[in-house]
Chains A and B, each alone.
Chain A
Amino acid sequence: MLFTLLLVLSLYEDARLFTRPRENWRAASVAMKRLAAPGTCLMFLPADSLNLYLVFDKTLAAHVCDANSMQQFSRVVLATSPYAKASKMVLPSFREERSSGLRAPSVTLYRRK
């Protein structure tokens, strides 16, 4: 009886591993790639999280900009890690246009004001 209960509880928890919300770095990489049109650059919060997205798509590295070089672009896509200390980044002279709807990491498109 106890053993059966334990197995049932274990099976329930095993199944929950597949149903509970998880981080989806691949989806974030795909969303960034889709938004990386000419005139758009990619930024990452924190900056060193870029390596994690490169696991899925190495070409993302070609579109990366930083706080200085972003002024040359009309649009910026910001990917924010769920582990970032700050959840928002101030991009002067840019306004938030839309979010990809992804939870973790989040991907937000900014357009020049």
Chain B
Amino acid sequence: MRALILTLAVYAICILLLLPHPSLWLDELLNIVGSTKPTFSSLISYVPQNSGAAPLGYLVQRLSFRLIGVSEFSARLPSVVSSLAAAAGMFALAQHLHLRRPMAAVVLFCLLPMQWRYAIEGRPYAMALALSIWATFFFLQQRMLLYALAATAALYTNPYSFFIPAAQVLWLACHGPRERLTRAFLAAGSAALSFLPWYLYARRAWIASVPNSGHISPIKAAELIARELVGAGYIGTGLVLVLAYMGWTRCRAENPACASFLAACFLVPFPLVLAGDAYFHYFLAARQFLFVLPPLCLLAACGIHAQNNNAVHPAAGPLPL
């Protein structure tokens, strides 16, 4: 716990000092234009003009503006707070899954360029990621009301975050007891249902605002993912995937439920993102895969242990089901 607090403190200081330095770019400004709308109703009617957008991130940024004024700092502050909450959530997840090196997962998560970028950007991706991580934690803890609330909040921040609860329900369908599956299905289903009013309200404007991107070939999609998945180019993606694979094989030997859970959370969102993009004729972007970073970091953290110690130990504890 001491290592976590120290790491988060250093991370917070670095990120807060660097926060105002990169100048705002177009998408951040579009977010700020929405968050500074004079009335709540004008904000709500503005949000769907950005394809796939949901209102919660705008409302939180609006609150930040109300509290400390409109500036680069206040525009990005919700993302910093979210990134810190996400890092703490990674530690909680790693501990819950009995990973031997929880801090390795936290450090890797904080430093991964894809996470780092959105931690200092005035858009709601970091917030959606944090909510997705805490939803996963509540799922593992079987606190289904909190799970449903976190998944709903994540959905209202970024709809693609729902692919993680979808992966978790699918994993339970394959591995879990029926009673737990029913509860998780009801929780995730209620989150999806609660998002339906916004979807019905925003759908037409989303489709109208989709840039004319055309079809992306599977090879180009694979190339984009390989280059940009973690924000560190092909080499970065290669390194993290090798570590994650080593972690998965190690984890599978020690705790098969944990290995399959993390693998499901990492793999299932890929086809769902591609299907979502195809349905809305939206262009493929690496940020749509942001929500697979937590399971990837957790598997990679297992990979470090596998790299340093080849002996298979008995599981430190089974994944609670």
Contact = CB atoms under 8 A, between A and B. Distances in A.
A32 B204 CA distance: 37
B92 interface: no
A51 B243 contact: no
B36 A2 contact: no
Nearest to B239: A6
Interface stretch (A7-15, A63-71, A88-96): A7-15
B192 interface: no
B307 A14 contact: no
Interface in B108-133: 108, 111-113, 116-117, 120
B33 A5 contact: no
Counting contact residues on chain A (CB < 8 A from B), the size range is 20 to 34
Nearest to A27: B23
Nearest to A12: B232
B300 A9 contact: no
A47 B231 CA distance: 33
A17 B240 contact: no
Q: Provide the main secondary structure of the chain B interface.
A: helix
A22 B26 CA distance: 10
B26 A9 contact: no
Contacts of A33: none
Contacts, number: 86
Nearest to A105: B26
Contact of A18 (B21, B33, B233): B21
Between A3, A27, A51, the greatest number of chain B beta carbons within 10 A of the residue's beta carbon is seen for A3
Contact of B113 (A1, A10, A26, A27): A10
B295 to A, nearest CB: 16
Interface in A41-82: 51-52, 55, 81-82
B33 A51 contact: yes
A24 interface: yes
Contact of B23 (A11, A13, A23): A23
B316 interface: no
19 contacts: A2-B303, A2-B307, A5-B239, A6-B232, A6-B236, A6-B239, A9-B232, A10-B113, A13-B113, A13-B116, A13-B231, A14-B111, A17-B22, A17-B113, A17-B120, A22-B22, A55-B29, A55-B32, A55-B33
Q: Which 10 A/B pairs are nearest by Cβ-Cβ distance?
A: A13-B113, A10-B111, A24-B23, A6-B239, A52-B29, A23-B25, A3-B304, A14-B116, A13-B232, A9-B232
Given A5-B239, A6-B232, 7 more contacts: A2-B243, A6-B108, A11-B111, A22-B22, A23-B25, A25-B23, A83-B26
